[in-house]
Structure 1
Amino acid sequence: MQQSAVPELAHTQTRPIHWIATATAVAGVVALTSVIQPGSATAAQSATGTKTRPAPAAAPPSTTGVDFPLQCGPVKALVVKKATGDLDGDGRPETVAVVHCDAPMGTPPDGLYVLTRSADSATPRVIATLVQPRERLTVTDFTVHGRTVSATLLGYSSDTVPSCCPDTKTPATWQWNGNAFLRSTPAGAHSV
């Protein structure tokens, strides 16, 4: 038997150049697959009947530039949280925003506002105030689900309770009745 001049399996020794070549090949495959995309799917429609397209969904009102009915003095109003939903069933979404003054210290009270945009105007406007800042409440666990706005309201049982330490906790929901948002408190709700 004749001996090979090159030892068997000499090619199985990995060197840095092998790793670089493998990484380059993988990167090339990934780049190629991101460039080559299949065409968009189309469905053939029958020649009879009319073609209808659904109306594009209206964009929810933005909170940017909205003049909230909130007196903040030298500081600005700060949108803490917002959610959208078609609360009145007209096919256009409303935005519900939790807003308070951007105070440097303490816990400023929240306001809860509903924004809409009319069909002929791009400017959003406040159409309802669900929680007034003068009520000294903090809005937590805030959601919009379907046509219902839900939140937990942290508040104070009296003016002597320090602002740092709310001592009441009340769940609340609001629904549009065709004329106004009606607030309800679930049965069994209690204060802390």
Structure 2
Amino acid sequence: MTERRIPGHARSGLKHWVLVAAGCAAVVGGALGATSATGAVTAGQPAGDPVAAPAPEPAPEADLSKVRLPLECGPFPVAVSLKTSAVLDGKPLTVAAAHCQADMGTPPDGVFLVGADGAPVALLPDGEGLTVTELAIRSDGSIRGRARGYSSPDVPRFSPDLEVELTWKRSGGAWTKTETKSSVQGA
């Protein structure tokens, strides 16, 4: 009877299992130390600080499923691509970028402001042909956005060549929009 010997690289010993355990501990420790929203590693609490400050409460959001946004979508449903909320002057406010959910392509977005009464106000009509990539409500009450678009109808729809910085500010009872257009890098 012949004896078969397992090659050294195929045998597992104590050294092998210690390395496997250390690798698993590193992966689990990294996953526990990262926040789910950003993936950034969070620092531990200092030893001298027994009680951490409470996290700020999120601003109440309007239930956009109950709001009829002024988009003409025909048989297609409305899809909200971005939204953000804040409390301004003691009133909850939600800003949303939405478009018609088509079967193919990326339809342009409209930006809508929904207040406590639930009535939407159009800040950016979808007819401007922009795809909104960022929305934020600033502490001064202004709304900031970033979008991509096209300099002419001849630009292929799969390759936007403009980046648009959008800002809305309240003046009286209305919102005024300012925009700054620049070429997309590499376009």
Q: Could you state the TM-score of these two structures normalised by the residue count of structure 1?
A: 0.60
Write out aligned runs for 1:1-192 (5 A): 59-87=60-88, 89=89, 91-118=90-117, 124-126=118-120, 128-146=121-139, 147-185=141-179, 190-192=182-184
**Structure 1 unaligned regions, length at least 5:** 1-56, 119-123
Distance 1:191 1:58, change over 3 A: closer
Structure that is richer in strand per residue: 2
CA 1:159–1:58 in 2, change beyond 3 Å: closer, same or farther?
Answer: closer
Percent identity between matched residues is 36
- Of structures 1 and 2, the one scoring higher in RCO (CA 8 A, sep 6+) is 1
The amino acid that maps onto 1:160 is D
Q: Distance in 2 between matches of 1:176 and 1:70?
A: 23
- Alpha-carbon deviation of 1:175? 1.4
Amino acid at match of 1:73: G
Q: Which runs of 5+ in 2 are unaligned?
A: 1-57
Give the greater-gyration-radius structure (CA): 1
TM-score by length of 2: 0.62
Is contact 2:99-2:110 (8 Å) kept? yes
Query: How far, CA to CA, are the matches of 1:69 and 1:100 in structure 2?
Result: 10
Q: Which amino acid is the alignment partner of residue 190 of structure 1? A: S
Residue in structure 2 matched with residue 12 of structure 1 by the alignment: none
- Provide the aligned length of Structure 1 versus Structure 2: 126
Report the CA distance between 1:58 and its aligned residue: 8.7
- The CA deviation string for residues 122-175 of structure 1, in whole angstroms up to 9 with x for no partner, is xx111x211111111001122122212111121111111121111111111111
Q: RMSD of the TM alignment (CA)?
A: 2.0
